[in-house]
Amino acid sequence: MNSIELTAPAKVNLVLRVLSKRKDSYHNIYTLFERISLADHIKITRIARGITVVCDKSVTGRPQDNIAYKAAELILKTAKVNAGIRVEIKKRIPIAAGLGGGSSDAAAVLTGINKLLNLRISKGKLMRLGAKLGADVPFFIFDTPFAIGRGVGDKLQKLNLNKKFFHILIYPGFKVATKDVYRGLSRDLTNNRGGVRITLPKDWNSLERLLHNDLEAVVAAKKPVIGIIIKCLASSLGRRAIVSGSGPSVFCLCPTRKEAMKARVKLLHGAAGILGKRGQIFIVETKR
């Protein structure tokens, strides 16, 4: 086998609670991840030497700064393999949007190279490698539709929810830096709320009541259009919506794909002026 192709799915955070600030400048969180159908496409090819990463969207100034490049470099160094790798990325997940696109690409590169070169590195070790690249990377290697994340999001517990949810997902067309959002948290986080628990959703109604993101107020304060989008979803669709991760993407729930399609059409008319030319509206579902 000379090459392998993989999909790198996005995620949303159905729940995100920020518990405390850590000594390493990161934050302890409690989150409920959902893997969704919006995905990048990754092709990994074995070549004579070196690492090459090409992407159809401008992600970083230098290819070496791309997290996918760092993932390839890390696994080859760890396995002590002198092999050349070419990574081709077709981006469909908006960049720096709170959807984990870069982390998912890195996870796909780690798992893809592991299979392509028959390195036989265990999933647990791949997840530990992924944690060195980014807090969300282990979730995508974990390979499950739903998981509880603790620590910085890298300590994972699989949830056996036999459900599929549909979402209207709105990317407003601009980036938000994760570090700036966390820096903007104004409340005291010295108390570690390690006892946070959630009641697992049984259907889309119970899931809608569960939706929460501690970072949402910070994101909306930095980018007021986020609050406008959330209010638009509430008024035009009657749906509760939240920011995913550190934003700026916003999502809400729909009970069926058919209703999601109708909601998208309605939203395109109502929010066209809010989103502008770079904004995007997606219909996504749980990626099982």
What amino acid positions are annotated as catalytic residues?
Answer: 11, 136
Task: Report how far apart, in Å, the C-alpha atoms of 62 and of each of 68, 77, 176, 178, 240 are.
Answer: 12, 20, 20, 20, 40
CA distances from 199 to 19, 159, 217, 241, 245 (A): 18, 12, 23, 19, 20
Q: Which amino acid is at 22?
A: R
* CB within 8 Å of 89: residues ≥ 6 apart: 40, 41, 42, 53, 54, 55, 56, 59, 68, 105
CA torsion angle for 180, 95, 101, 137 (degrees, to 10)?
A: -30
Q: Which residue has the tokens 């002590």?
A: 80
What is the SS3 assignment for 130?
helix
Which 8-state DSSP code applies to residue 63? G
Phi then psi dihedrals of residue 37, to 5 deg: -75, -20
For 2, 136, 144, 215, 241, the CA distances from 189, given in Å and listed in that order, are 49, 21, 30, 13, 25
